[in-house]
């Protein structure tokens, strides 16, 4: 089943009075349970495409359908609610709330959803166990390493039980051990919970884990390749 359908997507920006097409006529469909990466040089439009998929930005033209719901022309208030209940985000900069503990950061999304306190507590503990950080349940971000903060960010993204996860360069600030740990967690969640993951990345380690590799250049899809799980790109 398709969770994302994109048709003739265009995103233009004004640069010194010249219109630049960051995304230029993209057509794309993502199936439920995919483990997909979007690659390409800096400036190719990877982050812009993820932001459009996630409703963080609005297109200049074209269509974006998430779970058979059109989001390209959705009002801001409806879009906020839609994102809250359908999409999980993992950012390169973590974006954890400094004054909240690991558990509180994870619970925050569920609190916005209006879920009962007991449910929030249970889910946050389960997720911290899943990412191997139950012993840091009461630690604030400043007391966590970069790899630990990113794992909390992944747990937070999963807290709302979204249909899919968008991850923008999630391993960019991590060492090899933390990267491998994070990818193993995501891969397990993809396999066990059929969670759909879409990454933008420059990281070859992430690409090797992917089932599908989409190459973007100048805002256009240059190639779209399925690969065997764990197969190395030639």
Domain range list for the chain: 2-226
Q: How confident is the model at residue 14 (pLDDT cuts 50, 70, 90)?
A: confident
pLDDT the model gives residue 161: 82
Q: Do the strands 35-39 and 212-217 form a parallel or antiparallel pair, or are they unpaired?
A: parallel
pLDDT the model gives residue 107: 95
Contact 179, 19 (CB under 8 A): no
pLDDT the model gives residue 177: 83
Given a cut of 80, whether residue 173 has pLDDT beyond it is: no
Given a cut of 70, whether residue 208 has pLDDT beyond it is: yes
Cα distance between residue 104 and residue 137, in whole Å: 9
Given a cut of 80, whether residue 125 has pLDDT beyond it is: yes
Q: How confident is the model at residue 231 (pLDDT cuts 50, 70, 90)?
A: very low
CA atoms within 13 A on the CB side of 48: 25
Convert the pLDDT of each residue in 80-110 to its tens digit: 889 888 899 988 788 899 999 999 999 998 9
pLDDT the model gives residue 175: 82
Q: Average pLDDT of 15-35? A: 89
Given a cut of 80, whether residue 16 has pLDDT beyond it is: no
**Percent of the chain with pLDDT strictly greater than 90:** 54
CATH 3.40.50.300 fits 2-226, yes or no: yes
Nearest partner of 210 among 220, 196, 221, 222, judged by Cα: 196
Given a cut of 60, whether residue 233 has pLDDT beyond it is: no
* Residue where the block lists tokens 């400043």: 142
pLDDT the model gives residue 229: 58
Convert the pLDDT of each residue in 36-62 to its tens digit: 999 999 889 999 999 999 999 999 999
């Amino acid at each position: 089943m398709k969770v994302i359908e994109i048709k003739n997507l265009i995103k233009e920006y004004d640069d010194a009075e010249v219109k630049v097409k960051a995304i230029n006529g993209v057509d794309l469909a993502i199936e439920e349970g995919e483990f997909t990466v979007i690659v390409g040089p800096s400036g190719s439009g990877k982050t812009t495409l993820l932001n459009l998929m996630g409703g963080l930005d609005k297109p200049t033209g074209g269509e974006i359908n998430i779970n058979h719901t059109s989001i390209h022309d959705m009002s801001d208030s409806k879009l906020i609610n839609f994102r809250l209940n359908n999409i999980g985000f993992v950012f390169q900069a973590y974006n954890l709330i400094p004054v909240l503990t690991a558990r509180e950061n994870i619970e925050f999304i569920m609190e916005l959803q209006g879920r009962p306190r007991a449910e929030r507590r249970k889910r946050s503990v389960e997720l911290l166990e899943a990412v191997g950080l139950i012993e840091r349940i009461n630690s604030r971000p400043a007391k966590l390493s970069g790899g630990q903060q990113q794992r909390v960010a992944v747990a937070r993204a999963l807290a709302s039980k979204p249909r899919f996860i968008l991850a923008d360069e999630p391993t960019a600030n991590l060492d090899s051990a933390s990267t491998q740990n994070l990818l193993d967690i995501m891969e397990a969640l993809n396999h066990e919970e059929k969670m759909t993951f879409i990454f933008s990345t420059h990281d070859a380690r992430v690409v090797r884990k992917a089932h599908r590799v989409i190459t973007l250049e100048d805002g256009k899809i240059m190639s779209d390749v399925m690969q065997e799980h764990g197969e190395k790109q030639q």
